[in-house]
Structure 1
């Protein structure tokens, strides 16, 4: 406790709450043996020297032969009968046997119990008492231990509130010590808090992944993060799988939580703002028992975020919309981002593979693009795991699949299909404009990922005036569309 002298107020409060409960402590130390068995029924829990009665019973239970031999030697010396014997049987218990020739030497305090042909058997008050003690010494010792333990437990139960309060204080002090020790060992820095709403993390690190990387002789790549209440309120992070997007999201949330709970943080510099809650939607999961798919769970959790977050919250979203059709997912992700930007205004980190979403940085004044960088060296893909400004130019999904050892035939076919769809794909940003912008009249037409219908054909169909279209015109139009599809 002297180490806590002059400690900050919270540690001082914890120190003041420490109650050693000295009477209980001293009683336990005096009563319980150092090497007490785990099961009290085995005996030996009570320390030797604590109870004179218990010590005597233990001595009788373990040294009865030596005690009888000592009595026999003493009586031989006292009576002068060298052939005197102390024996035991189940009928008479302990007795002294003296031959007929030595009967005249028997002391008057001997009580005759049995007469034999060549000897007489006697007992004494000492032997009667010893018999009663020795025969049930072990069981009586266990009973006495149980009684002492029950008394000790009752005393501990009476002091339980004081013990619990001390345990809580010790736990709090241990918690602060663990944070301090980790901060020194892992080179953490003291965060500062900004009243302007600025969040600036320089060379931030994930506290767990960094430790795991070092254990495997690796090196964790630190990254910066900057958010504010103005033009950097939301960050869209793009890049390949395995590039480090999810780690970047998690470390930002962890640093925010660690700083606000009073810990130093894994970074070179950290300026943070006070947040009311951290909302996360990371990873894929389902709940088959309740009939909820991965996508349903994802949407339910997203709904909780949108209905609960405030402008002082930190929202961390990882690939919203990936559990459904491509354009459904893209539309939902786009709409969720617009809603957070326009209605909530929370600090947001959003990792995605929908590259169309990067156009929001040019449409919404609080959105910036970030990407996880990679390097291509021949046919090799090197993950640099550095988060840099701007959007990624591609997802490298096929390259990651190749690293996972998919058959070469599958990889080549995937490249062919990707090239085909990249050639035909048109931007859909006009269809995903914010509510304040133009909305096309009539029902929307969804174009699926592998649907061989061009965007121009879809537009032609969408603009048809079906009510005024004559049958001959309809047939002619179908023929034209069929011919155009044949050319694609």
Structure 2
């Protein structure tokens, strides 16, 4: 960067402003462009693919003023903050430096312009702080006034922080500097790279000043009505959010009237890993909403409904009364297809009333926004008329009718968006404005009327009014009539055949004409601001109206999805049952031809002496993962209030859903696939209750066979004996089928073998799988045929050797049993002796490979207990080297 003494006054001005905004990209107004210099210019030119030029030796790039919103929106998506420096002083004709200052700061979490926002998605700004062992977390969408907060023990940061980030998906996050090196927070933020993160000195998160700020905002003496007191951990981050918003937007946020404090007990807890695995909002493949639960359930027609359905899917309810209410409302529309069709027709024109109200409150709404509000309210009134006999919506409509009527009478049907263009206020609203419009559009008629008045007064019938370039409007009197000219005529010019005059009235009329355009703009602006100020008094009502519209929209979306996909109303109660009859995976089924998806049932319960644990075996590609996920998704859908893809269902409400499936690593943090797997498993074992739904797939596959089997066995026992949760546990460890427990049921994916061909029936049945069919799956995947054939040969050798070994063992066990039948101690000794006999493995394979194949080849349904004990003892000694 050049030395200050070498800079021009303009660059010195730029640097002085930039010094005050080091973390923002400075858009510096120069004529019709916003210019950026130095580091900002280099970065922006790279991000936006702009041409990098130079002013003297300083890097420079710019964007046109009229197209700036497009570029700002792109920078916001990159997580950048933008400071807008405008020319605020008058431009001197003699030249000189024009005063400039920052009039607005736009950040990813504070943007309010429609061009910067994703329609139908909340734009949350979040903040976190820790005090006295408690973490407080708050988030706000300034465009909709949605303001929420929660808290948890700071010792549980790893579990709660990622979960809450996943719940609200903030675009921007504010943190105290003291947390910058917190490993848990660093790790969590690494998993969420799209969030723009800023750190501020800890004094910004002061509870005392924040408490005062919140009371000022809500116009309350205390925050008891919001469930908060001076010591609440939610206070500090919530208060700082309001301060940050006012600082960046350079305006107040009067539409934020309160804060909602929520607790985990209100919603189904879904940790971030489970949320990703279930692909609720975003898929694992490319991070879009395609092939997600949202994608197959979302038929909302309004932006407000779109935001609400996302919120519901991320926070299913635990309140049975609220769940039942939603189900009943969906049922009304499912049973009345004509009503549903009309609601969808009337909802289609409804625009984003929530954000329109926010723009009105922040004094950013233009006339087209008001017309959009009117059209939306009028469409909603049609919806309410059709719902008159139902309890889906109950908000009084007098205010809605007043708002629509006010806008209809005052605002032009097709208004300009700028306050300097005119064409904003409708004729008939203001006599003063109408007069100026009349002067502008009917000036010739006004002159004609005035001329007739002067003719009558003077008796001169050949008077004429002309518009001249030199004198403006004049009255022309012929020479023969000059003797009749009255005293109020003012001489302007004498011509050969006539003289020209003016009058005070004619001058007034001319001045009115000349000033009409500016008067129209001035008057329209004042009138528009009056109308907008009047509407701002109804912001709380408009926010309630928005919530009602969003609710009805989501309910009709659920009903529409239920009809399209043949979903049914579930029973959600206070039991611990989980009984799904012919359940289907909603996403997979949607992308298959009709009738192709194979439904499956499940009936488990965490009630005493009931089967709570389904152990599922079967080959890959047989449908285990689909079956696991579909049951978790059905539970989630039921508790959002939706119908479900099943013939019927009874679900004792779940408090938590855990879904540990698939394998992934985090090499950047030095975490292997197995470590990630164990971390997720640990969270499940520590956090789940007997009311939870636990879905686990392939626990222990990331380590050696012995370690993995041992862990999977122990985890299963812990879930069966200690937690007693409703659990579906899929595994390739066939040894787990030997777990003998009254709460466990063996399930497997059915497979049909015909003439050497394998058909995956994708049907669940009781029992254990007899084969993993790995070679068949490899063949389907396109493994070269020579490798497939060699694999079959090797497998046959292993299986034959295993059969020989089994025959020897069985014979020795029988003989020994006969000899030692009189003594239990002698029997044990004899079994040990039998088990200690070594059987040579083929030199091509290790002991571990042979033993693993023997395990897979065992007929577990027919082997005797004594044979099983002998085999296990021998395998143990063989693997330990004895």
| TM-score, normalization by structure 1 | 0.73
In our comparison, the structure showing a higher alpha carbon Rg is: 1
CA distance in 2, matches of 1:425, 1:197: 44
Q: Secondary structure at the match of 1:15?
A: coil
Contact 2:575 2:651 in 1 (8 A): no
Q: When the two structures are aligned, how many residues end up with a matched partner?
A: 429
Alpha-carbon separation, structure 1, partners of 2:702 and 2:397: 53
Which residue number corresponds to residue 81 of structure 1? 462
2:699 maps to which of 320, 342, 355: 320
Do residues 459 (structure 1) and 838 (structure 2) align?
no
How many Å apart are 1:226 and its aligned residue?
A: 0.8
Within 1, Cα distance between the matches of 2:404 and 2:736? Answer: 65
Answer whether contact 2:571 2:651 (CA < 8 A) is retained: yes
Partner of 1:15: 394
* Pair 1:339-2:718 in alignment: yes
**What SS class does the counterpart of residue 317 from structure 1 fall into?**
strand
Question: 2:448 matched to 1:68?
Answer: no
The answer to whether 1:164 aligns with 2:543 is yes
Residues 296-323 of structure 1 deviation map (CA, whole Å, 9 limit, x = unaligned): 3332222211111111111112333344
Give the match's secondary structure for 1:350.
Answer: strand
Aligned counterpart, 1:239 = 618
In 2, Cα distance between the equivalents of 1:140 and 1:425? 100
Q: 1: CA distance between counterparts of 2:670 and 2:439?
A: 70
Which 10-residue stretch deviates more, 240-249 or 102-111? 102-111
Q: Is the 2:465–2:473 contact (alpha carbons within 8 Å) kept by the matching residues of 1?
A: no
Given that 2:395 and 2:545 are in contact with CA atoms closer than 8 Å, whether structure 1 keeps it comes out as no
| 1:45 aligned onto 2:424 | yes
Quick one: structure 1 residues 202 and 24, their matched pair in 2 at CA, closer, same or farther if it must change by over 3 Å? same
- Return the structure number with greater relative CO, CA threshold 8 A, min gap 6: 1
In the other structure, the counterpart of 2:292 is none
Select the residue among 765, 778, 781 that pairs with 1:388: 765
- Rounded Cα–Cα distance in structure 1 between residues aligned with 2:552 and 2:465: 67
Shift of 1:347: 0.2
8 Å CA contact 1:199, 1:271 repeated in 2: yes
The answer for the alignment partner of 1:272 in structure 2 is 651
CA contact under 8 A between 2:572 and 2:639: conserved in structure 1? no
Deviations 1:368-416 (A, max 9, x none): 2222234456676544322222223333344334334344345445555
2:525 to 146, 170, 173: 146
List runs of 5+ in structure 2 lacking aligned partners: 1-383, 806-843, 852-873
Report the alpha carbon displacement of residue 251 of structure 1 after superposing the two structures with TM. Answer: 2.2
Which whole-Å CA distance do the structure 1 matches of 2:794 and 2:478 have between them?
115
In structure 2, which of residues 590, 594, 608 is the aligned counterpart of residue 211 of structure 1?
590
Tell me the secondary structure at the aligned position of residue 257 of structure 1: helix
CA contact (8 A) 1:236 1:352 kept: yes
Tell me, which stretches of 5 or more residues in structure 1 are unaligned? 428-449, 465-488
- Name the CA distance, whole Å, in 1 between partners of 2:635 and 2:694: 11
Aligned with residue 222 of structure 1, among 595, 599, 607: 599
Alpha-carbon offset, residue 346 of structure 1: 0.2
RMSD: 3.8
Q: Give 2:103's aligned residue.
A: none
Per-residue deviation at 1:25?
3.6
Question: Matched residues in 2 for 1:132 and 1:44: separation?
Answer: 21
For residues 122 and 406 of structure 1, what CA distance do their matches in structure 2 show? 104
User: Are 1:99 and 1:118, in contact at CA under 8 Å, matched by a contact in 2?
Assistant: yes
Distance 1:118 1:290 in 2: 99
The residue aligned with 2:474 is: 95
Alignment of 1:367-406 (within 5 A): 367-376=744-753, 381-406=758-783
| 1:73/1:40 CA distance change after superposition, 3 Å | closer
Q: Tell me how far apart the structure 2 counterparts of residues 7 and 194 of structure 1 sit (CA, whole Å).
A: 24
Superposed CA deviations along residues 205-236 of structure 1, whole A, max 9, x for unmatched, are 233333333xx556332211111234521112
Distance 2:754 2:691 in 1: 43
8 Å CA contact 2:589, 2:597 repeated in 1:
yes
Tell me the alpha carbon deviations over residues 104-126 of structure 1, each in whole angstroms, 9 at most, x when there is no partner. Answer: 56565433234456653333344
CA apart distance, 1:337? 1.6
Report matched runs for 1:461-476 at 5 Å: 462=880
Deviates most, 98-107 or 198-207: 98-107
Matches for 1:294-333 after TM superposition, within 5 Å: 294-333=673-712
Q: Give me the whole-angstrom Cα distance separating, in 1, the residues matched to 2:756 and 2:512.
A: 89
Output the CA distance in 1 between the equivalents of 2:741 and 2:544: 53
Q: Secondary structure at the match of 1:202?
A: strand
- Distance, in Å, in 1 between the alignment partners of 2:728 and 2:528 is 58
Q: Does structure 2 conserve the Cα–Cα contact (< 8 Å) formed by 1:200 and 1:224?
A: yes
CA gap of 1:452–1:218, structure 2 versus 1, over 3 A, is same
Distance 1:326 1:53, change over 3 A: farther
Look up the SS of the partner of 1:155 in the other structure: helix
Measured after TM superposition, the shift of residue 130 of structure 1 is: 3.4
Taking the aligned partners of 1:352 and 1:337, their CA distance within structure 2 comes to 11
CA 1:159 to 1:337, structure 2 compared with 1: closer, same or farther past 3 Å?
A: same
